[in-house]
Amino acid sequence: MIKGINRTIIEVTETDNRYYERALLVLKPEYTNVQRSLLEKEAKKMLHSLSAPSVITRGKAFFYWSIRLGASAVAGALITTLVFYYR
């Protein structure tokens, strides 16, 4: 922590999120007197709603579109082969 700065920090170790192991959240000064259990509950709810990091999402999208394009190419080649074979 930096000297001369006082902040209240909540550390959430059980995030219930498959991507994040723990989180450190800095509270606004006006909410430092709120019950700790309520703050932890809200922090876990917020962390649970977080989605995958963008790199993972892009990787899945690339894989999905590669499979889709490959299947389309195979289907097109199969149809073309059948048309020329049975002509």
Read off the pLDDT of residues 17-38 as tens digits, 9 standing for 90 and up.
777 788 888 888 888 788 888 8
Q: Is the pLDDT of residue 71 over 80?
A: yes
Q: What is the 3-state secondary structure (H, E, C) of 3-57?
A: CCCCCCEEEECCCCCCCCCCEEEECCHHHCCCCHHHHHHHHHHHHHHCCCCHHHH
Q: Which residue in 24, 20, 52 sits closest to 39, CA to CA? A: 24
Q: How confident is the model at residue 40 (pLDDT cuts 50, 70, 90)?
A: confident
- pLDDT (0 to 100) of residue 3: 60
Residue 86 has pLDDT above 60, yes or no: yes
> What pLDDT score was predicted for residue 5?
64
Q: Is 24 exposed, middle or buried (0-12, 13-18, 19+ CB in 10 A)?
A: exposed
